[in-house]
Chains A and B, each alone.
Chain A
Amino acid sequence: NAGVTQTPKFRVLKTGQSMTLLCAQDMNHEYMYWYRQDPGMGLRLIHYSVGEGTTAKGEVPDGYNVSRLKKQNFLLGLESAAPSQTSVYFCASSYSQGASTAYEQYFGPGTRLTVT
């Protein structure tokens, strides 16, 4: 099992450019998440999905869009990149554990994005 994979690992964009980050998981997890990590800010949830074809906003959704057309994939799009979106982006997947639902997260290795 590869677990959670993310592509690309690094990317440099100019202000106004667009790009898509791809996340794939092979654990048949229902839930998938996109976070950004900035120094001193911890992990902040951008968008998440509770199943194929569904998406929902997290804590910091502005400037991002997502799609979950297949259960194993979760795409994060930046339509018009801004320097404030310079960050490390992590994808995670999870599953429900019934009565003791804890939504334990399995993270990918991250994508380091710089917007100049």
Chain B
Amino acid sequence: TQLLEQSPQFLSIQEGENLTVYCNSSSVFSSLQWYRQEPGEGPVLLVTVVTGGEVKKLKRLTFQFGDARKDSSLHITAAQPGDTGLYLCAVNFGNEKLTFGTGTRLTIIP
């Protein structure tokens, strides 16, 4: 059984601060995706990383894929209230399914 852990489970910070959330797997995976889910809606894809050591940027969000292909981080610079939501990582172990983490619930306080 492949395990996927996200940390922290909950995070509440002031607007303008920086933050990092983490996604760790017990096994090596082929690719990793980050999603954001807002209340009452389905998750929306933010980014996909497929190469060990890869770094991708999406405005104030920076995504990093670990060299060993077992972990990833999401860093948000100068957080804004619009960043509030549930952040989910999901990994592909080489088949047509994804395994999702339990998520980090982020709250940005104005």
| Other 11 A-B pairs with CB < 8 A, given A102-B50, A110-B42 | A42-B101, A43-B88, A90-B43, A94-B96, A100-B50, A101-B31, A102-B33, A102-B92, A104-B33, A109-B40, A109-B41
For A92-106 the 0/1 string (1 means CB < 8 A from B) is: 101010001111111
A contact set with B: CB distance below 8 Å: 4, 31, 33, 35, 40-45, 48, 50, 58, 90, 92, 94, 96, 100-110
Would A42 and B92 count as touching, CB distance under 8 A?
no
Closest to A50 in B: B96
Known: A100-B31, A102-B33. A45 touches B97 (CB 8 A): yes
B44 interfacial contact with A, CB 8 Å: yes
Which size bracket describes the interface of B in this complex? 20 to 34
Known: A43-B43, A107-B44. A101 touches B30 (CB 8 A): yes
Q: How far is the CA of A63 from the CA of B67 in the complex (A)?
A: 40
Q: How far is the CA of A58 from the CA of B95 in the complex (A)?
A: 12
Would B92 and A108 count as touching, CB distance under 8 A?
no
Nearest 3 interchain pairs by C-beta: A107-B42, A42-B102, A43-B100
Would B31 and A31 count as touching, CB distance under 8 A?
no
Q: How far is the CA of A45 from the CA of B90 in the complex (A)?
A: 12
Would A101 and B92 count as touching, CB distance under 8 A?
yes
Would B96 and A48 count as touching, CB distance under 8 A?
yes
Contacts of B48 in A (CB 8 A): 102, 104
Would B98 and A110 count as touching, CB distance under 8 A?
no
Q: How far is the CA of A107 from the CA of B92 in the complex (A)?
A: 17
